[in-house]
Structure 1
Amino acid sequence: MTTKRSVHGVPVQWETLPALVAARAAQHGDAPRLTVAGRAMSYRELDAESSLVAANLHRLGVGRGDRIACFLRNAPEHLVTWVAAGKLGAIWVPLNAGLVGEDLVHTLTNAAPAVLVVDAELAERVADVEDRLPPMRVYQVEEGGRRPAFAELLEPGTALPAVEVSGGDPAVIIYTGGTTGLPKGALLPHFAWIAAGMRYVEAFETKPDDVHYSILTLFHVGGLMLGVVGPMVADIPTVIDRRFSGSNFWARARETGATIVDLIGTMVTVLTEQPEGPGDRDHRVRVSLGVTGQIPPAVSERFVERFGAGFVNVYSLTETGGVLIVNNRMDSPKPRANGLTHGWAEVAILDDGDQPMPPGVSGQIALRPRYPDIFMSGYFNAPERTLECLSNLWLHTGDLGHLDEDGFLFFTGRQAHWLRRRGENISAYEVESVLSHCPGVREVVVVGAPSEKGEEEVKAFVIRDPGCEVVPAAIAAWCEGRMAAFKIPRFIAFVEEFPRSVTKREVERHKLRALPNDGVWDREAPVSGGPHPREDRPR
């Protein structure tokens, strides 16, 4: 017997994204309710176009459990393909648009999609590594390329199969930093997306006249849940731009009539650094997402004072069902906290033996859901990593923090092998594995270095081969095309040896992180006047 779901004692109206889209299409008809990269769409259009794509994919043999990937900048095709996959019981895989070379090969090999949707720019990156990829059909959103056009999937004439999809079925794979090792695909069920939308309504206390304006990417869980699903569940319009612009942000907020925005980390810093002007409060924005834990407190305080918009601070990660699993409302008595779970999950701080730590004592943040199908089902094609992450009935985040006496969570940092740069989670292990193949590099350790804008920068400590005089700029140049640009080290320092623990002889990364950047080569240093002029870059 199937029992209808309820959350906090309230029945749930939908369990899947296609069901939610169909309901909003019936409700709003042809009224435009979402704008993506300049295209205004109605839910009826989204529903109809996704049905065409689903029918044509079915004709090509794509079905339940198959993967359908998108490698795009923010574009309407993201959403059309996502809903189409859901209608077939297939799994949608949005890929980070920064992937290149080894990153791209690893991700596409792991996902092994039956179909890949690309844009013209990113199609070239796929072509560069095509001989190392598994077989897949590739469609390009623009016409006139050497690939079949995405428009072919919008041709009518094929019947849409009847496929029963439930809230617990796998829906989306998001490739994320995870907790250890190479990036892994967190497999989120359908209901996890609906639950995230419900948390959005609660956290932002949405009103009928709200409008969401998003500048987050549609290949990350934040952009999808905040920019798309949250407003859809809240039944408010949403506008998703192609990219963030510090100089144009408030102009766009005014144009869209935005009341809710989703700034994260260094975006807040960038906006406070813009020249002050009379339009600083000439907008309707009342609240922003607040991922402010790794920027200086004075910056977020200055933002609130200058622009008049408050923050809903958060702690969340893809594995725990994405955004707002822990959130701190605007009227919180503890504004610097990351917040409470508000009934969605249990949270604990654990020591190395998985024993709970008392209030005020730092340890690893762990969570477990209070409702089924709101966390990830596991890592795709990585059962051992899944068991490691989900051991002892807790999801181990790999993040550090503490709880206070009232149960408020305070995030304090990431464990040694992970760092966060400008909104991107980066595996130190992954960067090290690429750098280790660079000519002249004998050993390398990558850590996070404090950034003047908040969060971290990538810093590589290198032991060179004996007698080798390879210079930092040559190492940075070698990285180009072999890893995503945001992963290339900003700082490179040469050392004779690494500090190691006495017992396990493991590299003591915390000691490397504590070293200053004085005199260290800086890829972003000015050409003239910087400590390392760019003449050492190979031509």
Structure 2
Amino acid sequence: MYLTQGLHRSLQQNPDAPATIFGERVRSFREQAGRVSRLAAALRALGVTDGERVGILALNSDRYAEALLAVPWADGVLNPVNIRWSTAEIAYSLAECQTGILMVDDRFAPYVPALAQGHPGLKTVIHLGDGPAPDGMLGYEDLIAAHEPIPDARRGGDALLGVFYTGGTTGFPKGAMISHANLCVATLGAQAVTPSGLPGGRTLLAAPMFHMAALAAWYTQLAVGGTHVITPYFDPGEVIETIARHRVSYIMLVPTMIQMVLDHPLAAEHDLSCVRSVVYGASPISETLLRRAMKVFPRGGFVQAYGMTELAPIATMLTPRDHEEGTRLRSAGRAAAHTEVAVVGHDGRELTRGEVGEVVVRGGNVMLGYWNKPEETAAALRDGWMHTGDGGYMDEDGYLYIVDRIKDMIITGGENVYSAEVENVLAAHPAVAQCAVIGVPDPDWGERVHAVIVLQPGATASPEEIREHCKSLIAGYKAPRSCEFVEQLPMSAAGKILKRELRRPYWEEADRRVR
């Protein structure tokens, strides 16, 4: 299969049905296909062919959706950029995978000078915004108008679809290489367990489209035919009004977002019974929140999806029936139709049920590897299994429970943060002698980034100063939301910081050690 296949199918079967709704702008599949093929021609003229990378740095829009289709149509490879990263992080990711063409909207156009300085190989910038293209950039609409359609390259199968950057355990992002087959297998496997995308349905895209989870939601609806209703970013009030106005049938949000929707006063004023599927991930949902959500979305089947970017992104699913029974809400569900999931010990052998070990996943959804990182690829992909770095156990019925993280990672508001990356930045502050970064429970974000710091003799620093220092070098969501200053850090006999000792007072009253 290939990414653009769903567009061809809808063009054949429902050419005048709406493909995208963005604000007041509605485009049919006929219009979308014509624009995508012309944009692909423009990209081809700019040198995109045979796997050349094209970056997208933009808020959600119908143009973003067109770009996702046009790049593989031109035989190129996608590099969707994390919009929450600092310019230094973005420049690193663009440079590492040699992305020479970047699409930006009005929000991120001001980033371009700094990105060009950090990545001299950035040769072409395409402006996705509504106004005139800034100096030095090519206009998106101008390119479409200036080119004739070209045939779809139908890039697909095991060919590289995109390079999707995640946080790095060493402080540098890693580019997960996802093939067309990876995404197609994961999507169809999830659909086989419990359909989320409905033929002729409407999917709301409010989570950022650079994220693999949002891309999977987008592709699910594309594959079965239907409409994408797109908002630039997540805003709980706009989400509520958009769902009600356009009768959205499928939404994908993290529990933090669901909480914000339920807490918004508009939730009580609108009929949201049109929603048939509510997919969430990044953390389990509390029974209290679930009961509230089921009242607001009375016809919505709730699905928890556990996975990671490297798995395109789904490994296990907790189905609507599981949510209705309510006895396994702390579970991450069971293996989806396209995966094998196991819990293994240090020797790689599967453990007995109930025993805690590392979660590993095998299937056609497993990434090709990390871009230009053979050692990290070899560490993650062993004997056909993706080693997730998550600690967990499986019960007798095959339900997976995540209880710890073997890799030093925090999930806050649905975003992955590697402690090493934050610690590297903290260590650059002149007042910091030693530091450790951990995840602690947070009622709004699931976990929050927390720094434990030993100051240099005679030095002073405030939590606000520490946070601003970090935000100047890494994305704001990675910066510590809380800090504590201590005289010394707990150490093992080998001189290793004992993070479990730092975590214990925060998590000992929690019902699980990670969220």
TM-score after normalising by structure 1 = 0.86
Q: Secondary structure at the match of 1:155?
A: helix
Distance 1:70 1:171 in 2: 14
Distance 1:149 1:138 in 2: 9
For 2:37, the equivalent position in structure 1 comes to: 51
For 2:357, the equivalent position in structure 1 comes to: 363
- Which of 346, 353, 359 in structure 2 is aligned with 1:352? 346
- Which of 167, 178, 184 in structure 1 is aligned with 2:157? 167
User: Contact 1:421–1:455 at 8 Å: present in 2 too?
Assistant: yes
For 1:12, the equivalent position in structure 2 comes to: none
- Which of 92, 97, 105 in structure 2 is aligned with 1:106? 92
- Which of 131, 134, 149 in structure 2 is aligned with 1:145? 134
User: Contact 2:282–2:411 at 8 Å: present in 1 too?
Assistant: no
User: Contact 1:38–1:241 at 8 Å: present in 2 too?
Assistant: no
- Which of 378, 390, 393 in structure 2 is aligned with 1:387? 378
What amino acid sits opposite 2:333 in the alignment? Answer: G
Distance 1:170 1:57 in 2: 17
Q: 1:295 to 1:463 in 2, by over 3 A?
A: farther
Q: Secondary structure at the match of 2:216?
A: helix
Deviation for aligned residue 1:184: 1.0
1:204 correspondence with 2:191: no
Q: Secondary structure at the match of 1:255?
A: helix
For 2:513, the equivalent position in structure 1 comes to: none
Within 5 Å, which residues of 2 pair with 1:316-331?
316-323=307-314, 325-331=315-321
1:373-408 Cα shifts (integer Å, max 9, x gaps): x32111111111111100232100111221110111
Percent of aligned pairs with the same residue? 26
Deviation for aligned residue 1:162: 6.9
Deviation for aligned residue 1:40: 2.1
Q: Secondary structure at the match of 2:411?
A: strand
Q: 1:67 to 1:209 in 2, by over 3 A?
A: closer
1:418 correspondence with 2:412: no
User: Contact 2:57–2:105 at 8 Å: present in 1 too?
Assistant: yes
Distance 1:193 1:257 in 2: 27
User: Contact 1:246–1:267 at 8 Å: present in 2 too?
Assistant: yes
Q: Secondary structure at the match of 2:146?
A: coil
Q: 1:393 to 1:442 in 2, by over 3 A?
A: same
For 1:128, the equivalent position in structure 2 comes to: 114
Aligned length: 497
Deviation for aligned residue 1:159: 6.7
Deviation for aligned residue 1:39: 3.3
Q: Secondary structure at the match of 2:360?
A: strand
1:110-138 Cα shifts (integer Å, max 9, x gaps): 12212001122212223234322132211
User: Contact 1:201–1:234 at 8 Å: present in 2 too?
Assistant: no
Distance 1:447 1:95 in 2: 26
For 2:2, the equivalent position in structure 1 comes to: 16
Q: Secondary structure at the match of 2:343?
A: strand
User: Contact 1:114–1:135 at 8 Å: present in 2 too?
Assistant: yes
Q: Which moved more, 1:111-120 or 1:438-447?
A: 438-447
Distance 1:151 1:379 in 2: 34
Distance 1:160 1:306 in 2: 46
Distance 2:398 2:23 in 1: 40
Q: 1:282 to 1:151 in 2, by over 3 A?
A: closer
User: Contact 1:37–1:76 at 8 Å: present in 2 too?
Assistant: no
Q: 1:27 to 1:307 in 2, by over 3 A?
A: closer
For 1:194, the equivalent position in structure 2 comes to: 184
1:76 correspondence with 2:35: no
User: Contact 1:280–1:307 at 8 Å: present in 2 too?
Assistant: no
What amino acid sits opposite 1:82 in the alignment? Answer: L
Deviation for aligned residue 1:456: 0.7
Distance 2:470 2:374 in 1: 31
Q: Secondary structure at the match of 1:204?
A: coil
1:177 correspondence with 2:167: yes
1:432-455 Cα shifts (integer Å, max 9, x gaps): 212221232222221111111252
Distance 2:443 2:449 in 1: 13
What amino acid sits opposite 1:101 in the alignment? Answer: T
Q: 1:330 to 1:156 in 2, by over 3 A?
A: same
CA RMSD of aligned residues (A): 2.4
Distance 1:206 1:286 in 2: 9
For 1:478, the equivalent position in structure 2 comes to: 469
Distance 1:356 1:321 in 2: 24
Q: 1:205 to 1:291 in 2, by over 3 A?
A: closer
1:510 correspondence with 2:500: yes
For 2:213, the equivalent position in structure 1 comes to: 222
1:46-96 Cα shifts (integer Å, max 9, x gaps): 222222122122222221121000010112222222222212321111001
For 1:396, the equivalent position in structure 2 comes to: 387
1:346-398 Cα shifts (integer Å, max 9, x gaps): 111112222211111222110000x4xx3211111111111110023210011
- Which of 73, 77, 86 in structure 2 is aligned with 1:87? 73
Deviation for aligned residue 1:294: 4.3
TM-score after normalising by structure 2 = 0.90
Deviation for aligned residue 1:277: 6.6
User: Contact 1:68–1:92 at 8 Å: present in 2 too?
Assistant: yes
Q: 1:274 to 1:413 in 2, by over 3 A?
A: farther
Distance 1:512 1:74 in 2: 39
User: Contact 2:186–2:338 at 8 Å: present in 1 too?
Assistant: no
1:452-508 Cα shifts (integer Å, max 9, x gaps): 125211111122222111222222222233211111111011122221222x32211
Q: Secondary structure at the match of 1:425?
A: strand
User: Contact 2:6–2:224 at 8 Å: present in 1 too?
Assistant: no
Within 5 Å, which residues of 2 pair with 1:243-392?
243-275=233-265, 278-279=268-269, 282-291=272-281, 293-308=283-298, 309-323=300-314, 325-332=315-322, 334-336=327-329, 337-369=331-363, 371=364, 374-392=365-383
User: Contact 2:253–2:280 at 8 Å: present in 1 too?
Assistant: yes
Gaps of 5+ in 1: 1-14, 518-539
For 1:445, the equivalent position in structure 2 comes to: 436
User: Contact 1:341–1:347 at 8 Å: present in 2 too?
Assistant: yes
Gaps of 5+ in 2: 508-515
